[in-house]
Structure 1
Amino acid sequence: MELQSVQSLNSDMELYSKPNGVAMTNRGAATGSAADASWEPATPQQEQREQKRQLSLCRIALFGLAGPPLQMTGNVAAFYFSIYLLEVARLSPAYVSIISFSGRAWDAVTDPLIGLLLSCTNTRFGKTRPWILGSSLCGSCLFLFMWWPVAAAETQAGKFAYYLLMHLVYCTLVTCYHIPYTSATVLLSPHSADRDAATAARIACELLFTIVGSAAFGAVIGSKRIATECGNFSTNGTADMLLRASEERDSYKLAAGIISLIYLSCGIVGFLGIKERVASVRDSSESFASTLRRIGEVITFKPYVALMMAFLFMSLGIQTIQANLGLFTTHRLKIGWHMTFGFMCVLVVATLCVPLMHLLNQRIGKKKVFIIGVMIVFPCLLLTQLMEPKTLFLYYLVTSLSGVTISVAMLQPWSMLPDVIEVFYKRHGDRMEATFYSLYAFFTKFAAGISLAVSQLALWLSNYDSNACEQPESVSNTLRLLMGPGPIACLLVSMLIIICFYRVRPVDNAREEPNTQSANETNIHVSRRVSELQRHPPCRALLPSADTELGS
């Protein structure tokens, strides 16, 4: 009986001395022995502290303040870069369209490559922080060069080559910033509530700085911009024309310098404020073929495929609306002077709705919030088919309600994607967060490229003339269709995919605390028995010697 009791205790020691069996502090892990004497039981205070670790408000705020560069610079470029190329650089519209589309297409190519390089990164500063700092230093300079004309490039071909190169390099550096930054969301905390709070802070800061950046850029160049009508740049004197053109170029440089300074400041805040508290599980000796196999597992992961298809169609609808809202305001509603105020209305409402959407995520669930946000925009898009020219009340009503959907479109992908990554981690033992985020960015920019190409093709078929003030009636009808049936169909498909195929619940370690606490209490009790046996071993006289047969 005594022999069986000791053997039972020894088996307990082997079972509970493993790293996955009991919460102990392993000071002898280098030896690889599970029953090493240097294993010490963790105190209940350590266990409770480990379970209740949460992000502080300061960390959440710092993470959010590092988020604006992509949305802020992207929206400024979307609003003003084409105008700069046409009015200041004096490029032809054909060259401008090539530069804009090439930037989107190049983004779609570089996103998976940057994600793969990020997966192989492991430094003393962490996985994502070196990328954030380095890309912010270079990216802020390249954004400034985009608005800095070069005297050596005077011909149309020379200016086209220069601005195309600057735009492509800038897009690459923004990707080098955005992919690591968004990947850091999963590494901030194991708690779903912490990740959701960090995501909400990031989206709120992105929207806020987008409004501030766009307003500041417009205010700087607004007073210096040459007022033109129907492409007529003639003035009373050549000298006056050259002076005003020089002042306009300088105003763009100043405005771009302000945005670049904000860009750099956000990168420094992100490098100093982000702390990776969740280990990114990856074998450093993993081969390239194995990496490709893991990427294949991500692409074929059904919850991820459903989520990406839903957001692909949602991005198609939203990007089509954004790409044509300005032209719709000008040529369909004949209230072009309200275009900037309409943009600001959308962004302000979207910013104010982010905290509300975050609260609803916690109360009713992310899936329901996604469905509600998509359904709100359907009446707005139907109203655009019935609006007559110069209907200001309906115009601002539509833009205000559209801001609610924009907030959902910006918040939900980054809030739902970490849950999918955690489910993948539970099944495969590897988060692959860089691959997940880079592929999502690829799908989003791919959708933006498609919407831009389709919109330009539709306008070209409707005989749109960029040098004319008045456009034919066919352009007005085309813009009405681009703002209605197309986006409605895309958003409806997105909503149906989420309803029918998305079956992921938030994975939160905090929800497992009752079971974990019970298991830890049992493990601590056993570990105390192990320590007691080590201090007071059982009497060896009662045990048979090694040279004695058990049957003798």
Structure 2
Amino acid sequence: MAGPHEGTPARAAETPPPPPVAHTLEPDAGSNAGHLSFFTKVCYGIGGVPNQVASSAIAFYLQLFLLDVAQIPAAQVSLVLFGGKVSGAAADPLAGFLINRSRRTGSGRLMPWVLGCTPFIALAYFFLWFLPPFTSLRGLWYTTLYCLFQALATFFQVPYTALTMLLTPSPRERDSATAYRMTMEMAGTLMGAAVHGLIVSGAHGSHRCDEATLPGQVAVFPNAIRLYPIAAAVVAVTYPVCSSLLCLGVKERPDPSAPASGQGLSFLAGLGLTVRHPPYLKLVISFLFISAAVQVEQSYLVLFCTHASRLHDHVQSLVLTILVSAVLSTPMWEWVLQRFGKRMSAFGICGMVPFAILLAAVPTAPVAYVVAFVSGISIAVSLLLPWSMLPDVVDDFQLQHQHGPGLETIFYSSYVFFTKLSGAGALGISTLSLDFAGYESGACKQAEQVVVTLKVLIGAVPTCMILTGLCILMVGPAPKAPTQDSSRSLRRRTSYSLA
């Protein structure tokens, strides 16, 4: 679909002789050269599904699997989660460095990285849910596999997200492609939690404790060892299927705004410039807190329902309510972004704050479903907003700095690095707090200190993080308005509107 607009015809459309209307008015609104077909947008969105399917299953169920099925002590689970997130974070700058130095092939510069990681990440994900026969080294087993999975997921995700900048020069079309991507990823998140949860739901029902006579007796459903690898295999298959559709339907094109003779900056030099760019710095710092809050909320919802309330029979329904709400509200938030601007849309993240506190205070089924529905709406905008802003930040940076191609991977990889690092710290410290509170792996009944800790983790912690992140997002420096520069071959209007 994108092929006819590449090469000489595209450059001819940018030469001075034609009327300047296509450049000085709304280049993103009416330029055929930047138009993306519906098929291209759908295939691009499908490419992000596998990581979201896997991440959704991990976010909601990995902690419960490690604690109650693999029966690893909470301190070791903290190490697994922290180590995996740090491994993924450390892989981000490495991925940006290697991709920045890679040469363009027949299929592009970013696509080969996505396709090359696909088989390895599928295998790593499958064995992450496999219960090895030995018990003494299970902590090391899962730490190694989770670190490997997170690193491979990074080498898959960084080029895929950076591909947004190489689909089209039109900011409006990129926003539209991002909305398609986020909608498909939300659907993938829903599918991951639904499929994985339905397969393993029998392993965590209330009936598993019926035969436990002592309050702290360990009870493991026998089929759990079989159900988790089945669920893992179903999720792992999405990687080769979706990657193939991405390759078939999306054509990567060079950045037409980059200087024709520019060699680009080195990775370290580019990183030094990007982290000093005020709009980017504000975006990263604010979403350090917001993304960590969402990860904590997801990770402890199942544990909270299982051990701190009588909602264990509603776990699957609550997870699906959150994800269905997020999927359905994503197109609405895209309309809000276009209509009212991205700064106004950020206030939608506040929706989960009072409801998270309400769930911790009144953990009843009706309240839980209302909280789940509102939380899904807030999570949707918290996920859509940064990825919608990042292309605009890149535009704002390029309008102020005349550099060659490759900077988009630096922006995307460093953003994911910082957010993963914040998630690693938040999940590691919070899981360690369960160990200090006396959490017993696999026990049917937990101590009162554990219940209180789970209420704090599900209510107070996300609230403080969200409010802090929003304050930074609102009061930080805004980007300068771009000026018309006749020396550039393509004049792009940034839609980054936080001012």
Q: Same-fold call, TM > 0.5?
A: yes
Contact 1:64 1:198 in 2 (8 A): yes
1:91 CA drift (Å): 4.5
Q: Deviations over 1:502-538 (max 9, x none)?
A: 52489899xxxxx98xxxxxxxxxxxxxxxxxxxxxx
- 1:424 partner letter: F
- 1:126-137 aligned within 5 A: 126-137=108-119
Which of 389, 395, 398 aligns to 1:416? It is: 389
1:283 CA drift (Å): 9.6
CA distance in 2, matches of 1:262, 1:232: 38
1:436 CA drift (Å): 0.8
1:398 CA drift (Å): 1.2
1:253 CA drift (Å): 3.0
CA distance in 2, matches of 1:508, 1:402: 39
CA distance in 2, matches of 1:233, 1:194: 61
Structure 1 residues 233, 80: CA separation in 2 closer, same or farther (over 3 Å shift)? farther
Contact 1:106 1:171 in 2 (8 A): yes
- Residue in 2 that maps onto 1:201: 180
Q: Does 1:454 align with 2:434?
A: no
1:67 CA drift (Å): 0.7
Contact 1:345 1:403 in 2 (8 A): yes
- 1:491 partner letter: I
- 1:495 partner letter: L
- 1:50-69 aligned within 5 A: 51-53=31-33, 54-69=35-50
Which of 39, 42, 56 aligns to 1:75? It is: 56
**Does the residue aligned with 2:209 lie in a helix, a strand or coil?**
coil
CA distance in 2, matches of 1:161, 1:478: 26
CA distance in 2, matches of 1:485, 1:354: 26
Which of 155, 171, 182 aligns to 1:176? It is: 155
Q: Does 1:105 align with 2:62?
A: no
Structure 1 residues 370, 41: CA separation in 2 closer, same or farther (over 3 Å shift)? closer
CA distance in 2, matches of 1:400, 1:508: 43
Identity among equivalent pairs (%): 31
CA distance in 2, matches of 1:306, 1:230: 52
CA distance in 1, matches of 2:64, 2:450: 20
Q: Does 1:146 align with 2:128?
A: yes
Q: Does 1:295 align with 2:276?
A: no
1:90 CA drift (Å): 5.4
- Residue in 2 that maps onto 1:156: 136
Count residues with an aligned counterpart. Answer: 462
- 1:323-402 aligned within 5 A: 323-371=299-347, 373-387=348-362, 389=363, 391-402=364-375
CA distance in 2, matches of 1:87, 1:396: 25
Structure 1 residues 328, 195: CA separation in 2 closer, same or farther (over 3 Å shift)? same
Length-normalised TM-score, structure 2 = 0.82
1:319 CA drift (Å): 2.2
Q: Over aligned residue pairs, what C-alpha RMSD do you find? A: 3.5
CA distance in 2, matches of 1:403, 1:378: 12
CA distance in 1, matches of 2:203, 2:296: 31
Contact 1:107 1:171 in 2 (8 A): yes
1:231 CA drift (Å): 10
Structure 1 residues 278, 397: CA separation in 2 closer, same or farther (over 3 Å shift)? same
1:348 CA drift (Å): 0.7
- 2:441 partner letter: S
Structure 1 residues 462, 220: CA separation in 2 closer, same or farther (over 3 Å shift)? closer
Which of 246, 255, 276 aligns to 1:270? It is: 246
- 1:105-124 aligned within 5 A: 105-122=86-103, 123-124=105-106
**Does the residue aligned with 2:445 lie in a helix, a strand or coil?**
coil
Contact 1:319 1:448 in 2 (8 A): yes
Contact 1:120 1:284 in 2 (8 A): no
CA distance in 1, matches of 2:308, 2:132: 38
1:287 CA drift (Å): 9.6
CA distance in 1, matches of 2:322, 2:85: 23
1:458 CA drift (Å): 2.6
1:434 CA drift (Å): 0.7
- 1:182-331 aligned within 5 A: 182-222=161-201, 228-229=208-209, 245=222, 248-279=224-255, 281=258, 290-331=266-307
CA distance in 1, matches of 2:467, 2:67: 37
1:83 CA drift (Å): 4.5
**Does the residue aligned with 1:156 lie in a helix, a strand or coil?**
coil
1:65 CA drift (Å): 0.7
**Does the residue aligned with 2:237 lie in a helix, a strand or coil?**
helix
1:385 CA drift (Å): 4.9
**Does the residue aligned with 1:228 lie in a helix, a strand or coil?**
helix
Q: Does 1:503 align with 2:478?
A: yes
Length-normalised TM-score, structure 1 = 0.75
1:338 CA drift (Å): 1.2
1:134 CA drift (Å): 0.7
Structure 1 residues 222, 481: CA separation in 2 closer, same or farther (over 3 Å shift)? closer
Q: Higher Cα Rg: structure 1 or 2? A: 1
Q: Does 1:444 align with 2:419?
A: yes
- Residue in 2 that maps onto 1:512: none
Structure 1 residues 100, 232: CA separation in 2 closer, same or farther (over 3 Å shift)? farther
Structure 1 residues 368, 507: CA separation in 2 closer, same or farther (over 3 Å shift)? farther
CA distance in 2, matches of 1:461, 1:434: 40
1:121 CA drift (Å): 1.6
CA distance in 2, matches of 1:498, 1:225: 40
1:491 CA drift (Å): 1.4
Contact 2:22 2:31 in 1 (8 A): yes
**Does the residue aligned with 1:275 lie in a helix, a strand or coil?**
coil
Contact 1:183 1:434 in 2 (8 A): yes
CA distance in 2, matches of 1:201, 1:190: 17
For structure 2, the residue ranges without an aligned partner over 5 or more in a row are 1-10, 485-489, 492-499
- Higher mean C-alpha deviation, range 484-493 or range 351-360: 484-493
Contact 1:25 1:42 in 2 (8 A): no
Q: Does 1:465 align with 2:440?
A: yes
**Does the residue aligned with 2:378 lie in a helix, a strand or coil?**
helix
CA distance in 1, matches of 2:481, 2:229: 46
Q: Does 1:427 align with 2:408?
A: no
Structure 1 residues 45, 313: CA separation in 2 closer, same or farther (over 3 Å shift)? closer
- 2:429 partner letter: V
CA distance in 2, matches of 1:283, 1:52: 22
Q: Deviations over 1:90-120 (max 9, x none)?
A: 5555444322221111111111111111111
**Does the residue aligned with 1:470 lie in a helix, a strand or coil?**
coil
CA distance in 2, matches of 1:73, 1:130: 21
Contact 1:107 1:445 in 2 (8 A): yes
**Does the residue aligned with 2:444 lie in a helix, a strand or coil?**
coil
1:147 CA drift (Å): 3.3
Structure 1 residues 47, 324: CA separation in 2 closer, same or farther (over 3 Å shift)? closer
Q: Deviations over 1:388-437 (max 9, x none)?
A: x4x22111111111111100111001001110011111111236111111
Contact 2:123 2:236 in 1 (8 A): yes
- Residue in 1 that maps onto 2:8: none
Which of 394, 401, 405 aligns to 2:378? It is: 405
CA distance in 1, matches of 2:242, 2:358: 39
